[in-house]
Structures are given as C-alpha cells and as structure tokens.
Structure 1
Amino acid sequence: MVDEKKRYEQMLSAMLAFVDTVNAHHAEGVCFGTDIPLYPAEIHTIAAIAEAEGGSLTKLAGILGISKPTLSERIRKLVAKGFVRKEANPDDRKAVTLWLTENGRTADHHHTLHHERLYADFCLFFGNKAPIKIDHFKMTFDELIALNARSNRV
C-alpha cells in the first residue's frame, strides 16, 4: 500500500508538471494570427462560437459547460477585444446572437492549425500507439474529472 501511495503521489506530480507546462505556454496569452493575446478560455469560446455561429448565450454556455454569467463576462471581453460581435435576436428581443468578427475567424483558424500541429506531434511521438493512447488519456482524464468533482463536494 505504501508503494501504491508513493506511485499515486508521483502520478499527481507528473500531472501537475504537465498542467504547469501548458499554463506557462499560455501565461501571456497567444495571438493566434492576430496581434491581440488570447487566453485558453477565450480562444475556446471563440472556437465554440465558430461551431455554432448565430447561437444564443444559453446554447453556447451549454456547449462549453459553463454558467451564463461566466460566459457573459468572456463575451464582454471578446467583444471589447474585437473578436466577437453580438446582434439582437430577431425571434427574441431579450436574447442576442453571437458572431465572430474577421479577427475572430482569423484566431479560430490559427487555433485550429495549432491543434493540428499538436495532433501531428502526438502521432509522431506515440506512433502506431497513438489511437490507444488517445482512448486511454481520454478515459483517464474523464475519470479524474469525475473524481475531482466528487472530492470537492466535501
């Protein structure tokens, strides 16, 4: 049991080291083909809007798995930075629809290219084991997220 606990601590350390390297890469934001830095939550909001342009705040919050107030704050910042525009919803006077600006489309395109490079590097590193690794990491991260949610209910 002591050995297992030690391996668990080593796993946590490795996971945190990985998260730290990702966070360090994004600490100052990434410009994604524009001259304006974007943080991970911002670029992933842009990517979600690109997938559902013209959608509502409610729909987008559901896609991203975040609250409407959190999303509203992100959208406010992205509008101010010039990546997103809001338009009145013709079917619902209280609602707005979300659209990418030209800068938003540029950032989304460069973000897609970034993910394509990450995937190519992953496949090169893991070779023919890449599909198995993808499934394994996905399952493991899903389980760790569930465990974390459960542990944080205390």
Structure 2
Amino acid sequence: MRDFDDVTPLFLTLGAVLTKFARIERRPVDFGLDVTLYPAEVHMLSALELSGGAGVTGLASSCGVTKGAVSQMVKRLAAKGLVAREPDEPRGRVVLTPLGKAVSQAHFEFHKAHDKDFLDYLRGLPDRDFAVCQEMCRRMKAWMEAYPE
C-alpha cells in the first residue's frame, strides 16, 4: 500500500487542475456567435440540448445546482434569447431557441477540437484502465460532494 508521501504528488496535480478549472469557470466565453456567456450558462444550454428540453428540477439535477439557481439562470438565458419556456407543458418546460442551439453546437465543436488529444487518450485506454478512470471519477465526485458548503 502506498503511503502519504506516495499519493501527495497526485493531490498536488489534482489541486492544480481544479484551480485551473475554477479560473476557467469564472471567465465568460463567446463561441463566435456574438453571445458572451459564463461556462455554467453554456453547460446549461448543452444539458438542454442533450435532454431535448427539461423542467427546472431536471436541469438542477443534471447541472448539479439548486432549483433556485436554475430559475435565475433560465431568466438570464431567456433575456438573451437562448431559451424559452413551453407554456403548454406542465411547469413550463425549458427548451433551446435556434440561437441557444447554435451556441450549444458551437460549444460542442469547441470541445471536440480542444479536447481531442485527451479524448483520444481516454478512447484508446484498455477496458480495464477505462473502468479504473470511471471509478476514480465516481469516487472523486462523491469525495467532493461530501465537503461541507
């Protein structure tokens, strides 16, 4: 079994990755459509695209935020013309507008290009190694969810 000194370098690397991720999450982006959004807003658009539309509760679950945060973000995104509520649906299901879909697609294209090397690495892993990565990510998520807010 590895001791503390053996695993500490991994924690330092993970800390650097999380710090960089936190910086990126605070920086607004424009994917070439003259719409500047924060990553959390873009990720909500992508969640809506993948689901085909959702209610506030579903979005909160898929985005890992509160229903109140989703409601506020939906208002901002609607004001920018990126989402709309379907009034005929119970609880006003949220869907993408054509502009929202274009932004989401541009976001996916950005990641396909920017993340290509890392995605190729993951795709090339043997099944056993990929399963280890999946388990590690699952455990990291549980570890972070256990932190007090």
When the two structures are superposed, what TM-score results if normalisation uses the length of structure 1?
0.76
Matches within 5 A, 1:14-25: 14-25=13-24
Cα shift at 1:130: 7.2
Q: Which sections of structure 2, spanning at least 5 residues, go unmatched?
A: none
- Name the structure 2 match of 1:138: 134
- How many equivalent residue pairs? 149
Describe the shift of the 1:79–1:141 C-alpha distance in structure 2 as closer, same or farther (beyond 3 A).
same
Question: Matched residues in 2 for 1:127 and 1:57: separation?
Answer: 33
- Name the structure 2 match of 1:110: 106
Which residue identity is paired with 1:110?
Answer: A
Cα shift at 1:71: 1.0
Question: Matched residues in 2 for 1:122 and 1:130: separation?
Answer: 15
SS of alignment partner, residue 9 of structure 2: helix
Kept in 2, the 8 Å contact 1:52–1:60? The answer is no
Describe the shift of the 1:36–1:9 C-alpha distance in structure 2 as closer, same or farther (beyond 3 A).
same
Q: Which sections of structure 1, spanning at least 5 residues, go unmatched?
A: none
- Name the structure 2 match of 1:96: 92
- Name the structure 2 match of 1:63: 62
Which residue identity is paired with 2:67?
Answer: K
- Name the structure 2 match of 1:6: 5
Pairwise CA RMSD: 2.9
Moved over 6 A (4+): none
Structure 1 vs Structure 2: percent identity of aligned residues? 23
Kept in 2, the 8 Å contact 1:53–1:98? The answer is no
Kept in 2, the 8 Å contact 1:122–1:130? The answer is no
Q: Which residue of 133, 138, 144 maps to 1:148?
A: 144
